Amino acid sequence: MREDDENQKDPNDSPEGPGVSRREFLKISGISVAVPLVAGPRVIKAAGQEVRVYGPGKVPMEFTINGKNYKANLEPRITLLDALRDQFELTGAKRVCDRAECGACTVLLDNKPVYACAMLAIEAQHKAITTVESLMRDGKLHPIQQAFVDNDASQCGFCTPGFVVACKALLDKYPHPTPEDIRRGLSGNLCRCGTYAGIRKAIAQVAQKGA
């Protein structure tokens, strides 16, 4: 874990801490907004007009993730990735580099693939966020997920959720991708285990059958 993670941690939120963590407490009690020090926006004048200033403390935010509404009180510095993982328990998107350099955190924003670590949560409000968790329907894997299984396209699996989302976005844009489309479309995801050949086969399988 990187040192800077310490900056983002709320000491009261430590899972190792004594007693019931705040997250557990909220789950148990069903309270969604119980955190002190949440302030609404401050209104200031800019060029004669009123603008709202949020933070630096926690501010109420609302998201649409996989078609559902989510609410949380977050500081403006929280990334979309950390909000998904730490607030909403959507841990499919992985935190690997946290620097827009590996693709493990890929999610769809208004149907386009983006790195959730490269975006602030506060900016992702009012957008349609799609994570890997939504791909499985009625207990059935999405065709691209099934194709990953069929073609042995995963080893340690840490890059896999990001790749699956990137593959889905690629196939949505190019249902019958050329090798060049695949090279470019997946160029934003790295696999340390080297599963690239399997992933290319998985894409070919879906492209043939149609997703």
Partner 1 sequence: MRPFEYVSPNTRTQAISLLGASWGNAEILAGGTDLLTLMKDDVVAPKRLINIKGIHDLHGVSSNAQGFHIGALTTLGDLADDATVRRNYPALAEALPEAASPQIRNLATLGGNLCQRPRCWYFRNGFGLLPKNETGKELAAGGENRYHAILGNEGPAKFVSPSTLVPILIAYGAKIRLEGPKGKREFPLEKFFVIPKNEGEREHDLRPNEIVTEVVIPPASDVRAAHYEIRQKEVFDWPLAVAGVALRMRGSNVKSARIVMGYVAPVPWPSPEAEQALMGQPINKDTAQRAAEAALTNAKPLSHNAYKVQLARVALRRAILKAASGGVS
Ligand X SMILES: Cc1cc2nc3c(=O)[nH]c(=O)nc-3n(C[C@H](O)[C@H](O)[C@H](O)COP(=O)(O)OP(=O)(O)OC[C@H]3O[C@@H](n4cnc5c(N)ncnc54)[C@H](O)[C@@H]3O)c2cc1C
Report in angstroms how near the CB of residue 118 gets to partner 1 at its nearest. 5
| Polymer length in residues for the chain | 211
| Shortest Å, Cβ 66 to ligand FES | 19
Rounded least distance, CB 190 to ligand X, Å: 10
By the rule CB under 6 A, 120 interacts with ligand FES: no
Token pair for residue 180?
A: 């060049």
Of residues 85-104, those binding partner 1 (CB under 8 A) = 98-101, 103
> Of these partners, ligand FES, ligand X, partner 1, none, which one is at the site of residue 181 (CB under 5 to 8 Å by kind)?
none
| Nearest CA among 68, 93, 71 for reference residue 82 | 93
Exposed / middle / buried, residue 61 (Cβ in 10 Å: 0-12, 13-18, 19+):
buried
The contacts of residue 66 (CB under 8 Å, 6+ apart) are 90, 129, 130, 131, 133, 134
The residues binding partner 1 (CB under 8 A) are 4, 7-8, 42, 46-47, 49, 51-57, 75-77, 79, 98-101, 103, 106, 109, 112-115, 117-120, 122-123, 166, 169, 183-185, 187-190
